[in-house]
């Protein structure tokens, strides 16, 4: 009898622990807000009429993995966004035809972003997808070359035409200027200059459609469940996963969500642990060879991008483009010189190195940075954390809970 009583008592103790007796209602609310339970459905993309078309996603996936669209036939999107590395390359900066100047972010969950790139110089997944084809350091190709490849492969051509109608015949014969683009290398720009405006418009329409298919694929890449998500389900009583947190994990969560001790939540919030905004954490590169002013230049670039939400190739109505229309480069209370898009904190275990230039190879170095942010690199938004080594370890234990099992 006594034996049974003991078993019952210890089970009930385990349960009280498991249902999260250590969290007050406010903390529980915050935990929920950070978990996949709180993730909204993939946001709509009015500027892309095939955003949710499964055939477009299938077509876009083929393009994503196909190196024929690069200048030398060697690089596809997946060369840098590798599926087995959570769609990153685990290098400090991306390397294609040449070394780029920034770290390769994941494309998982990018459908929830409002702005793309570390500096937000694109405002949709499809307009983003057009850029790497022509970026000299990435795929070094051009819109005319990309269209040519589509037109020459009968499977691609069929898929394209099923989705977007016939590919204009004038683009089917080998163009005089196979390598032409307004933003490519010098040769591409010169060739582009020679194409009549009407034809440029046709080329851009087809190119935009190709980007829209790639975006449809990227929208299917959604974040997977993590230990943290399962734990939150457990404390909310949704499902018992029999998870018992270590002391470090509990302390790490407490530190992360305690706005008096840390400011993490101010920028890393919501189910993706990012507010999607641009913040200055003192990491701008203002000197030397690798200048990077981040958001201040990104704003200028997105406003003049011909493929933005308000441009000729967008499927959106003007009213659907509020975020672009009300973008005001002068309206910021934090310095946008040196501000970057807040990255998600999901699957950090797969996405090292960290920061826009991949300067930190591990989480310990990132936390040491937050512990003592720079005092001599322009104004920024951080306060020194002043954590002990133990507190830093706890924070890392929490961040590791955000790694998915696969």
Residue 328 vs residues 93, 161, 207, 276: alpha-carbon distances, Å:
30, 39, 29, 17
Name the token pair of 245.
């947190």
Residue 110 interacts with ligand HEC (CB under 6 A): yes or no: yes
The CA dihedral of 72, 74, 76, 78, to the nearest 10 degrees, is -160
The pattern of x and - marking residues 155 through 194 that bind ligand HEC according to CB under 6 A reads ----------------------------------------
CA dihedral for 296, 299, 302, 304, sign (positive or negative) = negative
Residue 107 interacts with ligand HEC (CB under 6 A): yes or no: yes
Task: State which of residues 354, 401, 402, 404 lies at the interface with ligand HEC (CB under 6 A).
Answer: 354
Task: Residue 260: count other Cβ atoms within 10 Å of its Cβ.
Answer: 5
Residue 118 interacts with ligand HEC (CB under 6 A): yes or no: yes
Of 5-13, 222-230, 303-311, 355-363, the window that binds ligand HEC (rule: CB under 6 A) is 355-363
- Residue 257: partners with Cβ closer than 8 Å, 6 or more residues away: 27, 30, 31, 34, 264, 265
Residue 283 interacts with ligand HEC (CB under 6 A): yes or no: yes
Tell me if 60 sits within 8 A of 48, measured CB to CB: no
The Cα 126–Cα 216 span in angstroms is 8
Task: Residue 173: count other Cβ atoms within 10 Å of its Cβ.
Answer: 9
Of 108-116, 223-231, 242-250, 322-330, the window that binds ligand HEC (rule: CB under 6 A) is 108-116
Residue 75 interacts with ligand HEC (CB under 6 A): yes or no: yes
Of 17-25, 34-42, 314-322, 343-351, the window that binds ligand HEC (rule: CB under 6 A) is 343-351
Residue 116 interacts with ligand HEC (CB under 6 A): yes or no: yes
Residue 351 interacts with ligand HEC (CB under 6 A): yes or no: yes
Site for ligand HEC in 243-262 (CB under 6 A): 262
The Cα 118–Cα 102 span in angstroms is 8
Residues that bind ligand HEC (CB under 6 A): 64, 75, 77, 79-81, 94-96, 100, 102, 104-105, 107, 110, 113, 116-118, 125, 128-129, 132-133, 138-139, 214, 262-264, 266-268, 279, 281, 283, 340, 342-343, 345, 348, 351, 354-356, 363, 366, 370, 381-382, 385, 395
């Amino acid at each position: 009898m006594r034996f049974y009583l003991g078993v019952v008592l210890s089970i009930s103790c385990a349960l009280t622990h498991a249902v999260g007796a250590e969290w007050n209602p406010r903390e529980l609310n915050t935990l929920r807000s950070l978990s996949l339970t709180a993730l909204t459905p993939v946001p709509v993309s009015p500027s892309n009429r095939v955003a949710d078309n499964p055939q477009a996603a299938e077509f876009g996936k083929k393009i994503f993995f196909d190196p024929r669209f690069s200048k030398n036939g060697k690089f596809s999107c997946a060369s840098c966004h590798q599926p087995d590395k959570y769609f990153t390359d685990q290098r400090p900066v991306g390397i294609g035809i040449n070394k780029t100047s920034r770290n390769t972010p994941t494309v998982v969950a990018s459908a929830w972003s409002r702005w793309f790139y570390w500096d937000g110089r694109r405002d949709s997944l499809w307009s983003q997808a057009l850029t790497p084809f022509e970026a000299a350091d990435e795929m070094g190709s051009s819109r005319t070359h990309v269209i040519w490849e589509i037109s020459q492969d009968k499977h691609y051509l069929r898929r394209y035409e099923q989705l977007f109608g016939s590919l204009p015949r004038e683009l089917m014969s080998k163009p005089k200027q196979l390598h032409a683009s307004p933003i490519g290398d010098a040769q591409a720009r010169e060739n582009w200059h020679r194409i009549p405006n009407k034809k440029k418009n046709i080329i851009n329409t087809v190119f935009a459609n190709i980007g829209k298919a790639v975006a449809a694929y990227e929208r299917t890449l959604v974040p997977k469940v993590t230990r943290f998500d399962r734990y939150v389900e457990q404390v909310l009583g949704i499902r018992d996963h029999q998870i018992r947190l270590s002391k470090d994990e509990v302390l790490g969560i407490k530190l992360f969500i305690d706005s008096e001790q840390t400011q993490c939540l101010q920028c890393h919030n919501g189910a993706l642990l990012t507010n999607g905004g641009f913040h200055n954490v003192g990491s701008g590169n203002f000197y030397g060879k690798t200048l990077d002013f981040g958001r201040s230049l990104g704003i200028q670039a997105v406003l003049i991008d011909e493929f933005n939400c308000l441009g000729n190739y967008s499927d959106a109505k003007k009213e659907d483009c509020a975020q672009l229309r009300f973008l005001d480069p002068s309206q910021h209370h934090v310095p946008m010189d040196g501000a970057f898009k807040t990255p998600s904190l999901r699957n950090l275990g797969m996405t090292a190195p960290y920061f826009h230039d991949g300067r930190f190879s591990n989480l310990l170095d990132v936390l040491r940075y937050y512990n003592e942010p720079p005092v001599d690199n322009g104004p920024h938004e951080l306060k020194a954390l002043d954590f002990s080594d133990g507190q830093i370890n706890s924070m890392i234990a929490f961040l590791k809970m955000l790694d998915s099992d696969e």
